[in-house]
Amino acid sequence: MSTTREQAAMLHSDLRAEADPDAIIRDGRRLDHAEGTSKPLRPAPEPQPRGAKVRGNRPIDQAEAAARFIAATEHEKMHDERLWDLRQKRDREMHGIPEWEELRSLASAIKEHTLTHLDEYLGQFEANARSNGIHVHWARDAAEHNKIVHSILRDHGAKSLIKSKSMLTEECGFRHYMASVGIEVIETDLGERIQQLDNEDPSHVVVPAVHKLRTDVAEVFSRTIGTDPGNSDVHYLAEAQREATRPLILNADAGMTGGNFVVAETGTFVICTNEGNADLSANVPKLHIASIGIEKIIPRLEHLAVLVRLLSRSALGSPMTQYTSHFRGPRAGGEMHVVLVDNGRSERLGLEEFWTSLKCIRCGACMNTCPVYRRSGGLSYGATYSGPIGLIIDPTFNARKYSNLPFASSLNGSCTNVCPVKINIHEQIYAWRRVLVNQHEVPLIKKAAMKAAGAVLSRPAAYRAAVASAETALAHLPRFVIYNGLNAWGKHREVPHPAQQTFHNWYQASRGSKP
């Protein structure tokens, strides 16, 4: 059995910073950058692989972007290990709660009940929120959301906005819109700020810059906020970012947040963070705008306990987020607005096979466990939502553009097993494949190959004959028949040698005569 030291040495260096032999230790304590000399950068860091090429409405080539990510071996190793570590922590937390499965069933039932009475609970929330002094707005789509927020800011003469992480605003292309109308947006979540400074989208719903090595962050910060390019010490980088951003936060005209849960009976909403940045965004400026998807509603405060117990454990393997803040109305002398956004959710609610995807609480557990996501990085999906949840949400926004995504899965079902609200993710991924084939959004060559495979697999005699002749055929077929430009499968895989004996033959020989 390997020792802890040996195990640490096997980990990617980004994941064992605390065991760093170059760290400066004084009185048994690791010194941060302000107290000690920073650790020098390793020579020639691997360049960060970039995400999928997005060309208008053309289908995203996830496999191509994933291949580039896998070729960047340091990034791929770190990403895989970091996310698997989160998955293992999640498992440990789960085993500490005997009623875990009961909680999942309850959470699923709460969300399904709410979604099937959505109009009722949204109306209740609006009435209660208004009586709490909150201005409530409704946005049909992304464009309407952006315009509403802009008009609120314009009415207040606001020119700068501090903002906490919100996938909904990513969905709405909010930062680009604000830039086009001359309003400066400053992200306050560290990972999201890194992504903003690097002009990249978040690659994960909980840890937006998880695909970046420390050296990537050092490069981004040296380019944008003037840090030492040779210093990738995480303490130094975090502190430098804090010092650069804090004055912007203190002087911002308005603050914006998302919302994890909206409580109908109280007209309040709840935000869960680990950095406390949402509290800064909400409380430093006098104007607070919260943009929230309509599916985030729950009926009563007592339901919150069920979902909060599951959220952080599923996301990061920690029992609670550091901050779980309840917003009940504007503070004295301030103003609070909530923008409730549809942006395709009502339509999704009407999709018989896919409506339960609206139960998602954006914990990211399905991403952390997915073997495809862990090895290809979130930006390879070229969409706001990546990983298993992305595969079932993205096609609802644009079936053509995201038509390849449901095929980026091995359908192993691990995503479904870890989902705290019991979404049947892998079954929905499979169902999307069928829908996309019926909608003619799948390349003809793939369709023809699937049809041929289906014909063989559905006839036992044909299947056995194909298997029996496979080895001979593979040995004599010219290589280009399988490995050619038209066959995407062959671009990334080698056909393994068939087994000497098939399971069918073994079964016949070993058990065939037994009753």
- Least distance in angstroms from the C-beta of 58 to ligand SF4: 27
Read off the DSSP letter of residue 358.
Answer: G
First CA to last CA distance, the chain? 44
Cα dist. 16→37, 85, 191, 369, 469 in Å? 19, 12, 19, 21, 50
Listed residue (386, 166, 148, 150) closest to 271, CA to CA: 166
- Least distance in angstroms from the C-beta of 364 to ligand SF4: 5
**How far apart (Å, rounded) are the C-alpha atoms in residues 217 and 238?**
10
- Least distance in angstroms from the C-beta of 120 to ligand SF4: 23
Q: Which residues pair with 203 in a beta bridge?
A: none
**How far apart (Å, rounded) are the C-alpha atoms in residues 337 and 329?**
9
The verdict on 365 binding ligand SF4 (CB under 6 A) reads yes
**How far apart (Å, rounded) are the C-alpha atoms in residues 165 and 174?**
12
User: Among 76-84, 178-186, 337-345, 357-365, which window interacts with ligand SF4 (CB under 6 A)?
Assistant: 357-365
**Closer residue to ligand SF4 (CB): 134 or 304:** 304
Query: Can you spell out the DSSP letters for 448-502?
Result: HHHHHHHHHHT-HHHHHHHHHHHHHHHHHS-GGGTSSTT-HHHHH--PPPPPSS-
The verdict on 110 binding ligand SF4 (CB under 6 A) reads no
The verdict on 258 binding ligand SF4 (CB under 6 A) reads no
User: Which of 60, 94, 264, 366 forms a contact with ligand SF4 (CB under 6 A)?
Assistant: 366
Listed residue (378, 433, 355) closest to 211, CA to CA: 378
User: What is the per-residue binding string for ligand SF4 in 423-452, x denoting contact by CB under 6 A?
Assistant: x-x---------------------------
Beta carbons within 8 Å of 29's beta carbon, 6+ residues apart: none
- Least distance in angstroms from the C-beta of 422 to ligand SF4: 8
**Closer residue to ligand SF4 (CB): 341 or 367:** 367
The verdict on 420 binding ligand SF4 (CB under 6 A) reads yes
User: Among 123-131, 271-279, 342-350, 358-366, which window interacts with ligand SF4 (CB under 6 A)?
Assistant: 358-366
User: Which of 313, 362, 374, 401 forms a contact with ligand SF4 (CB under 6 A)?
Assistant: 362
Element (H, E) at 270: strand 268-273
**Closer residue to ligand SF4 (CB): 13 or 260:** 260
- Least distance in angstroms from the C-beta of 387 to ligand SF4: 7
User: Count residues contacting ligand SF4 (CB under 6 A)?
Assistant: 15
**How far apart (Å, rounded) are the C-alpha atoms in residues 271 and 125?**
16
- Least distance in angstroms from the C-beta of 260 to ligand SF4: 11
**How far apart (Å, rounded) are the C-alpha atoms in residues 483 and 201?**
34
- Least distance in angstroms from the C-beta of 321 to ligand SF4: 14
Judged by the rule CB under 6 A, the positions of this chain that interact with ligand SF4 are: 314, 360-366, 389, 418-421, 423, 425
